Chains A and B, each alone.
Chain A
């Protein structure tokens, strides 16, 4: 069984400050890792993904994440946030194969609020 833990349910931050949203996962098999964002009244949008290769992945809107296999973490970072980054962020994992390859397992979500 897989599980994903997002360590902070809410993260308040001031505009132009850096931010890190933390994600840890547990799995007995190889996984792919994702960060999705949900803006109000919209669907989930993919920010970035780790499939293989370089452990530092860059996504849209200036976000990046680093895969750390030994610590089973995939923390999301942005060096300088904007008001428009206010949203809920979800970390997710998928099996790299097997019959349940399509299933995404999500964390509980982190609400990022950027204050002026």
Chain B
């Protein structure tokens, strides 16, 4: 069974440009999460999808970040325009849990390393 897959593995862009990160969750997982780790800091939650709906987007830093999950399968995270402080590693995770039941495990992808110059 394929794990959580993220594309690209690395992205280097200039300030002001747009970047789109993609996450393919484990097949059958309704729940998809985005996290970010800025260098030297802890991994921070960005948002949580249940199928195509946003269950919790309390961690999204500002309106330059747009996450979508059309059809409830893969998800994209767009940063437009990118700023220097957006640099970091963006992780995606998925889980099979039912809504309101927090016991199931989140499986993580290898992450996308974003460098904004």
Question: A residues near B, CB below 8 A?
Answer: 4, 32, 36, 41-46, 49, 51, 90, 94-97, 99-109
Contact = CB atoms under 8 A, between A and B. Distances in A.
Nearest to B105: A46
A97 B35 CA distance: 20
B33 interface: yes
Contact of A103 (B45, B97, B101): B45
B73 interface: no
A31 B58 CA distance: 18
A108 B91 contact: no
Contacts of A95: 102
A45 B108 contact: yes
A106 B31 contact: no
Given A32-B103, A97-B102, A109 B42 contact: yes
A102 B33 CA distance: 8
A41 B56 contact: no
Contacts of A45: 108
B4 interface: yes
Given A102-B33, A106-B42, A43 B56 contact: no
B43 interface: yes
Given A42-B110, A43-B91, A43-B109, A104 B102 contact: no
Contacts, number: 68
A102 B48 contact: yes
A106 B56 contact: no
Contacts of A49: 105
A90 B60 CA distance: 21
Contact of B56 (A42, A102, A107): A102
Contacts of B64: none
A41 B102 contact: no
B56 A100 contact: yes
A41 B44 CA distance: 19
Contacts of B56: 99-100, 102-103
B51 to A, nearest CB: 13
A103 B59 contact: yes
A95 B54 CA distance: 18
